[in-house]
Amino acid sequence: MFGIALALVAAAVAAPPAAAQAFPAKPITLVMPYAPGGPGDTITRVFAGAMQRHLGQQVVVDNTAGASGSIGTAKVARAAPDGYTLLMIHVSHATNPAMFKGLPYHPVDDFEPIGSATSGPMLIVARNDFPARDLSEFVAYVRANGPKVSLAHAGVGSASHLCGLMMMSTLKVRLNEIPYKGTGPALNDLMGGQVDLLCDQTSGTVPSVKGGKIKAYAAAGKVRLPQLPGLPAIAEAGVQEFDINISFGLYAPKGTPRPVLEQLTAALQKAVADPEVRNRLEGMGVSAVSAEQATPAALRAHLQREIDVLGGLLVKAGVKAN
Ligand code: MLT
């Protein structure tokens, strides 16, 4: 009798909690809060494929776009905290609270960080017939024509908007801002000549630049991109304060069981170490983060820094969505 009791105790101690044992027992929905075809969507689909392999379960990307990513983010905040609805998002998770009054979620209190996934630079690109032959002519033309030049972005507080704000403040010019539900649709208009400029992440622009569908004037920072070595960095035009890098991270709703979160972090860490993931991202000018950064603590710290720095910067710049 005593032996059976001991065996039962031993089995209970050894077996993982029921939540972790069964997880994942059905497909996982990975919400990307920007439109299909943009840099966020491209990065999300790379990770959806890798995590599907490492979790042994389907990971389905759900593009719920609009309001600078806050509609898709709200969807995840109110989803069941069971690990089957996740969010892939970047800087707009930090900026949206400063942009939108009455946001139906809090970026820290309503989410569990799983880990950071990528980091990557941005490019200043234009429609192919934009009237400037190189970076110095571009700077001169934009400074001379300001409000007559249209600048696409993915909504206030988005990465493309922040990059556009940095361009306007460093070049001391106002441009005519055209918001989209993501820079995928913006890129289509840029290729069609309906909009003049876009400052976007490399995962959304390097293929189109290489394909000759749009033209690039500069990397939006201090260093050139290995993928486009002939393209100058904006710093080479003497614009030193213009430097931006965008990092994506993975979140679950608050209350998701710890064992499930640990399984998701483990799958993310395998994904960022996956050679196929690293090579695909590298081709777009994006870096998968290290295993140390693909952790809840690292993502929590990164998010807090962005909230403290960028939220304040946008409020100071008088940027508001509503
Ligand atoms: C942005 O912040 O500009 C978004 O990442 C664009 C997108 O992914 O569509």
Is 158 near ligand 1, meaning CB less than 6 Å away?
Answer: yes
| Non-local CB neighbours of 289 within 8 Å, separated by 6+ positions | 115, 116, 117, 118, 119, 247, 272, 298
Residue 304 lies in a domain: yes
Asked if residue 90 and residue 159 are part of one domain, the reply reads no
Asked if residue 302 and residue 160 are part of one domain, the reply reads no
Residue 17 lies in a domain: no
Asked if residue 85 and residue 193 are part of one domain, the reply reads no
pLDDT in tens, 266-309: 999 999 999 999 999 999 999 999 999 999 999 999 999 999 98
* Nearest by Cα to 201 from 188, 217, 220: 220
CA of 154 from ligand 1 middle (Å) equals 6
Asked if residue 241 and residue 125 are part of one domain, the reply reads yes
CA of 142 from ligand 1 middle (Å) equals 23
Please count the structural domains in the chain: 2
CA of 160 from ligand 1 middle (Å) equals 6
CA–CA distance, 177 with 100 (Å, rounded to integer): 18
Is 182 near ligand 1, meaning CB less than 6 Å away?
Answer: yes
Mean pLDDT, residues 223-251: 94
pLDDT in tens, 148-159: 999 999 999 999
Asked if residue 233 and residue 129 are part of one domain, the reply reads yes
Residue 134 lies in a domain: yes
Asked if residue 188 and residue 298 are part of one domain, the reply reads no
Residue 219 lies in a domain: yes
| Non-local CB neighbours of 220 within 8 Å, separated by 6+ positions | 121, 122, 123, 124, 163, 166, 167, 199, 234, 242, 243, 244
For the chain, the average pLDDT equals 93
Instruction: Tell me the best of 158, 161, 310, 314 to mutate to test the pocket of ligand 1, counting ligand atoms within 8 Å of each CB and taking the most.
Output: 158
CA–CA distance, 265 with 203 (Å, rounded to integer): 23
pLDDT in tens, 185-198: 999 999 999 999 99
Out of 245, 275, 290, a domain closes at 245
Asked if residue 291 and residue 221 are part of one domain, the reply reads no
Out of 188, 221, 245, a domain closes at 245
The protein residue whose alpha carbon is closest to atom 9 in ligand 1 is 182
Asked if residue 238 and residue 134 are part of one domain, the reply reads yes
Whole-number pLDDT of residue 13: 54
CA of 57 from ligand 1 middle (Å) equals 27
Residue 11 lies in a domain: no
Is 202 near ligand 1, meaning CB less than 6 Å away?
Answer: no
Asked if residue 261 and residue 220 are part of one domain, the reply reads no
Out of 245, 274, 305, a domain closes at 245
Residue 182 lies in a domain: yes
Asked if residue 113 and residue 257 are part of one domain, the reply reads yes
Asked if residue 210 and residue 148 are part of one domain, the reply reads yes
Atom of ligand 1 nearest to the CA of 153: 3
Q: Which domain holds residue 173?
A: 121-245
| Non-local CB neighbours of 109 within 8 Å, separated by 6+ positions | 254
Residue 322 lies in a domain: no
pTM: 0.92
CA of 275 from ligand 1 middle (Å) equals 25
Is 64 near ligand 1, meaning CB less than 6 Å away?
Answer: no
pLDDT in tens, 62-116: 999 999 999 999 999 999 999 999 999 999 999 999 888 899 999 999 999 999 9
Whole-number pLDDT of residue 16: 56
Is 40 near ligand 1, meaning CB less than 6 Å away?
Answer: yes
Is 251 near ligand 1, meaning CB less than 6 Å away?
Answer: no
Whole-number pLDDT of residue 290: 97
Instruction: Tell me the best of 156, 199, 201 to mutate to test the pocket of ligand 1, counting ligand atoms within 8 Å of each CB and taking the most.
Output: 201
Is 115 near ligand 1, meaning CB less than 6 Å away?
Answer: no
Asked if residue 237 and residue 143 are part of one domain, the reply reads yes
pLDDT in tens, 36-62: 999 999 999 999 999 999 999 999 999
Residue 13 lies in a domain: no
CA of 124 from ligand 1 middle (Å) equals 14
The protein residue whose alpha carbon is closest to atom 3 in ligand 1 is 160
Domain of 187, CATH number, reads: 3.40.190.10
Domain of 41, CATH number, reads: 3.40.190.150
